[in-house]
Structure 1
């Protein structure tokens, strides 16, 4: 039987060709619609930008010719730049009168969507307002100095027998303070020096008030022993005389102190008080040795040089360093380096502003930014030696703020020249060290990105968040989140989470809770473009912790490839850690000497440290609880002491019932209920 012919006919070929042509035409029409819609959107965006720029130029044209401060914002409302001007209209107009091309200032000008200005009366007011806004708004194109640490001082307490101590914090006018000092080391060295020469006490008042015989410091001649009545007026005329001499020494009156001690020694000798004369002689010898060890040449130092700051700036490789050296009481106390942010962006803008005036170096711009941000809220010495001359108006503002004449000097001589050269060398060394460290930090970041085969466009913006759980046998569970970004740890972004509502010691439940709390809102904000998720999420733990993190990310719809667990290696030895992935990839051992593993270990250890610190603080609050009892209305020192005595401590109070607490004298039923509520 003959098989039927099933080969395509000419009619079938025509039908297929016709359908293909129709489909192709449909695709072409759809593509044209999409292209037309995209072109329309581009036109609308360009039109909106053109309208916005036209509106901005109208605002600029209407600005007054008065002193003031201006602020530029982008379309998201983020502040770009804060500047001051003698003549607002001229200064702001200069940004829009020419094409800056692809320069940094051109990039900034292209992003300006909105302008705000504030008119003030004088240029000094503009300078003050500008720097207050810079500290508040953190603009991207301004030089920013961040120094959250307060400077240490040397403190003499307001006491019949003043105590000499290290101090950092708010100043109490009852006491006498000397400084500021550039470092804690400088303060402690000064305390040791004054102990040797003037023998002032350093013990706490509680210790001083309860001693009946002198301590070891008296035996080794570091204290005159004012805690013992028989010794309070011993030696060279009493403790008060030593305090006075120490104050004059710290103020730089060294020669006057030396002359006074010489006269005192001769007076004791004339009165045949040879033991007292010998004590003063030893004091003079100790003071002479101290003065010989100082780097300051006392013969060339004038009274004006007793309190001097020396500033040197160095700009290199897109980074800058300002080195601040301090001379207090005629003694060089050391230096301290500062590293500002946004140097390249800010100097591009500032140099563009100065194009029509004198030539200005980046070092001068950095110095001016530091002086404005540092001295407007800190002690200003009457003399500041600089590596570069600065604007005279800045000196006038510092003088106005300080209430006395502040002078700057960029071409010093004699001893001041030596200080300047030392400070410049310190700035160069500090900047070279920073650039070297940043180079190694960038190399570690790149090594980690390569080792994990991550698709990261900008390594400088690579962001890691790491989580750890800490508790003591299930008590006071705390989770930590630390952030690594820009090749360094970002302590300002660290967060701690108190973990509640779980079984004590359940690390998996604790990890689930902290990840949910951290990323539930962040995931929603990221979808709206209002937040940025990290490029990598590290959890301290193995497969169990990673599995819990995977469940949370699946519920939130986040990318599982972000999660990496840091699992302890064989024997839990450092350097043998392995990385566990949530997306199913096999475990990875980076190698003991791997730069990537060093970075992971650094971040993991920082998360562990931050968690332990929080856990210990929480545990101490639970176990002692004194501050919580003090915070309860109606609980004073007497009732608190009765509670602690009755129940043997705060833990006993916490474990007591409301009825048991109410049995304590003076504790009503209502107050007992309040105590129970607070402690639970």
Structure 2
């Protein structure tokens, strides 16, 4: 297991005949995969699987969120025997920024939205709550009544703030460093202030919102809102060729096989430049685990 990275990713187990037994995701690949040969108290149904494992394969992802989406895509395409669920439990959402509010939209292929998709309704709602805490776009509506108008006045939000606020929200969701830093620092200050005032429940809530914002802005390229072109991604390292298939904007197939250096060239030339680091990294990982 020493060849596995400590970061996030997806792993799968194969038996001696090459059949996939199980696909899973991990925040820390090395410790998660190693845990199968330890105490499986919380995963008793997998005890009979472990003696059948002949080979471990893994994909190193750029975020836990990306690993979650990759696992879901792979399991929706094909569910191995020891996986209980095809796909995943998390509900996918998108975020839509309108003239005067930020709203969540259930995602499915073809849905119209501005940003996403994101896995996990709880995380998405907390992220929107955190963004609203820092950038309350809904208070810029000229038609506010009663209590909402009073809250807007207390928070110093005016209709003329709308364009700048919407621009900042959009920049955050596009992962622009300056806007992200402003939101992170603002939520951290509010959390620390609440904690200093002994409002620990509020401080805990703001910390959850901060973590949820990090979840939705983490790099995630294996499931796209706009499907785009279908493509194949290849990586090669010392006799091992790795192929990832993207169809309809979703990376949903992952294969690896032995390949001679000369034969690998025609495959590598097909890989788009933006995917080269991902492909090369995972080819090296496949070689080290083979």
Q: Normalised by the size of structure 1, how large is the TM-score? A: 0.17
The structure in which a higher percent of residues are helix is: 1
The structure number with the bigger radius of gyration is 1
Q: Normalised by the size of structure 2, how large is the TM-score? A: 0.33
Higher RCO, Cα 8 Å, sep 6+:
2
The structure in which a higher percent of residues are strand is: 2
